[in-house]
C-alpha cells in the first residue's frame, strides 16, 4: 500500500483498532421494562459504571492506536517476527471489550476485585506486547527506516521500558482499592499519550520529509 513496506500491516491493524473501539458501544444497554415509578433518566444514571468503563476503554484503545501509529512512523520494513508480535498486540486489543464489560457489570458489587484484576492484566499484557513489537523492530535498528530519527527512537525505547512495571503497580493497588487501581490505569494511558505532545508536531520536525499520520 505504501512503498515503505508496512502499509498493509498498518491498514489491517487500523481495522482491528477501529472495530474493537466501536464494539464497545454494544455494552451500553438501553433500559427495558422500567419498574413503575422509575424514570428513564434515573435508569440511565444508575448505569454509570458502564459509561465509566466505556470511556476508559475507548480512551485507552485510542491512545494505543496513537502509539501504534507513532511506532510505525519509524518502522520501515516488516518481517515475520513483526507480523506475529503485532498479531499478539491485536489479540490484546480485540480482548478489551470483554474485561470492560466485566468491570461495567461488577463495579461496586461482589466480584469487582476479580473484574479490576482482569482489566488491569489485559493492559499489562498489551504493554508487554508493545514492548515486544518495539524491540523486535528497533533492536539494532533492524526494521527501522534508514533515515529514522535516532532521538525519537531512543525516547520511545525509554518510555516503554517501565510501562509494564507501572501497570503491575496499578494491578497491585487493586488489591486494596478497585477505584484507585482504575485511576492508575487511566493515568498510565495519559502518560503514554503525553511524550510526543511535548515533542514538536509530527510531520513538522523534518519539513523536507513526508510523514504519514
Per CB under 8 A, contacts with a copy of itself among 98-137 are 98, 101-102, 105-106, 110-111, 114-115, 118
Does 22 bind a copy of itself (CB under 8 A)? Our answer is yes
* Residue 137 · residue 143 · CB < 8 Å: yes
Return the biggest CA–CA distance within the chain. 68
Question: In angstroms, rounded to a whole number, what is the distance separating the alpha carbons of residues 205 and 147?
Answer: 13
Helical ranges in the chain per DSSP H: 7-23, 40-45, 48-72, 80-95, 97-106, 112-138, 150-161, 163-173, 178-193, 195-198
Site residues for a copy of itself, 54-73, by CB under 8 A, read: 55, 58, 62, 65-66, 69, 72
For residues 86 and 31, is the Cβ–Cβ distance under 8 A? no
State which residue, 42 or 150, has the beta carbon closest to a copy of itself. 42
| Residue choice 14, 147, 151, 158 for contact with a copy of itself (CB under 8 A) | 14
Residue numbers 186-205 binding a copy of itself by CB under 8 A = 193, 196-197, 199, 201-204
**Residue 7 found at the interface with a copy of itself (CB under 8 A):** yes
Select from 75-83, 155-163, 166-174, 181-189 the region that touches a copy of itself (CB under 8 A).
Answer: 75-83
Amino acid at each position: 500500500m505504501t512503498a515503505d513496506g508496512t502499509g498493509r500491516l498498518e491498514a489491517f491493524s487500523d481495522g482491528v483498532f477501529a472495530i474493537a473501539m466501536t464494539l464497545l458501544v454494544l455494552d451500553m444497554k438501553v433500559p427495558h421494562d422500567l419498574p413503575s415509578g422509575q424514570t428513564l433518566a434515573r435508569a440511565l444514571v444508575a448505569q454509570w459504571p458502564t459509561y465509566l468503563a466505556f470511556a476508559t476503554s475507548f480512551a485507552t484503545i485510542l491512545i494505543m492506536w496513537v502509539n501504534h501509529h507513532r511506532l510505525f512512523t519509524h518502522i520501515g520494513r516488516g518481517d515475520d517476527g513483526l507480523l506475529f508480535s503485532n498479531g499478539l498486540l491485536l489479540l490484546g486489543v480485540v480482548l478489551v471489550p470483554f474485561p470492560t464489560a466485566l468491570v461495567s457489570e461488577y463495579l461496586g458489587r461482589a466480584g469487582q476485585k476479580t473484574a479490576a484484576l482482569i482489566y488491569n492484566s489485559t493492559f499489562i499484557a498489551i504493554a508487554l506486547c508493545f514492548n515486544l513489537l518495539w524491540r523486535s523492530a528497533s533492536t539494532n535498528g533492524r526494521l527501522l527506516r534508514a533515515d529514522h530519527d535516532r532521538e525519537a527512537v531512543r525516547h520511545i525505547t525509554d518510555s516503554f521500558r517501565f510501562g509494564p512495571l507501572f501497570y503491575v503497580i496499578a494491578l497491585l493497588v487493586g488489591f486494596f482499592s478497585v477505584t484507585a487501581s482504575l485511576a492508575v490505569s487511566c493515568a498510565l494511558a495519559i502518560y503514554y499519550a503525553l511524550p510526543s505532545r511535548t515533542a514538536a508536531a509530527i510531520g513538522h520536525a523534518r519539513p523536507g520529509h513526508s510523514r504519514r499520520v
